[in-house]
Each structure stands twice: as C-alpha cells, then as structure tokens.
Homo-oligomer: A and B are copies of this chain.
C-alpha cells in the first residue's frame, strides 16, 4: 500500500515472501507436533532467525494465528471448490460427492488447520466484526447452497425425506438464504444442513482419529455411504 510507494515493490515482495515463509513454517511445525500450539521461538529457530524478528511481521502470537485461520478458510474453500469442479458441471450428484470428498480429504490431510477452523474457538478470536468463527459455516453453506440452487434450476431435485419445517427454522432459512444469494425452499435448506451435519460429523471424528479402528477400505466405503445417504435425504438423485 502506501509503503510500497515509498520503498518500492522490491521490499514489498521480500516482505510478502517472509510473511509467507513464517506462515508456512508455522504450518509445518503444527504438522510435526500434531498440535495447533506453535511456539514463536520454534518458528524463529526453524527460519534461523531470532524470535523478536517475527514481531516485524506479526503483532503477536494471536495475530499470526488469526492469519493462519484466515488462510485455512481460504484453503479449505479452495480445496472443496476444486474437488467439486473436477467433475462435469451437469452431474450434480457427482459434484456433491466430490465436494464432500474434498471437505473430508482436506480435513484428513490438515487436521490441525481443520481444528483451527472448526475446533473450540480461540478466546479472543471471534471478536472482530461479527465473528469469523461463523465464517467457516458461511462459506461451507454458501458452496452447498449454490449446489442445491443448481439442482433446483436443473429440475432434478426431488422433495427431501423430511418435509415439515418448524416455523422458527423457516424464518432463519429465508434470512440466511438472502445472505447466501439465493433462497432455497425451507425443507431443502433444512435438508442441506442435515447433509452438512452428517458429513461434518464424520469428518471431525475421522480427522481426529476416532475412526482409526476402521480399516481404510471400510472407512472409505462408510464415508461414501454417508454421503450417499445425505444426498438421498436431501432429494438429490442417488450418486
């Protein structure tokens, strides 16, 4: 920004590279340690710098963590979108499966990042503007809602298993629908969230090792059955 004008883009690029390196190092350390805790000094050590140097780039540990959370949002959204787009745009059931696969696969590959987004929120974090905590939910729902909107437009969406919707939830559905850009029928909105719940539930449990007792092949099949069931309940043609 204004700094670039005064100091030229040369430094800006170096600075951006350093910031990226810090975040990458932090992520690498999180992967190694298996925790979301990351010591500032360890990052510095890994980068062969001294800890105070990092304060030129991040105000404090929380600031770095916030940046990592924001990155995780983007990365998850990107992974899901990419998985979804890897199948033909007109095969919506397959797109649903692919998106769910993307969600789950990302969580499996990056359990710490997933925990950063969907775990117990960090104390001071949800403060800034309406809580980015719920931004995770926002984005996940937006992707799903878009898919269901497409299904409706294609005329392939049949009524969901559960057709009655509580009036209170119906209100939320239209409000959220406007937020998301396209209003879905309340029972579809409800079914969409049911689908998300079940995929998210499996994903959490698996990512944190609670399904380790299941053979990989069985887990794979089980996951698929869960995704198919969710589609079925939501009125999406059986994938």
Contact = CB atoms under 8 A, between A and B. Distances in A.
Given A194-B229, A201-B197, A233-B229, A214 B120 contact: no
Contact of A218 (B120, B172, B200): B172
Interface of A: 33-36, 111-112, 115, 118-123, 126, 131, 133-134, 136-137, 161-162, 165-166, 168-169, 171-172, 176, 190, 193-194, 196-205, 208-215, 217-218, 220-222, 225-226, 228-229, 232-233
Contacts of A212: 131, 133-134
Copies in the complex: 2
B215 A205 contact: no
Given A168-B217, A201-B201, 14 more contacts: A35-B122, A115-B119, A118-B210, A119-B208, A121-B209, A131-B212, A161-B229, A162-B229, A171-B218, A197-B198, A197-B201, A198-B201, A200-B204, A229-B233
A219 B194 CA distance: 12
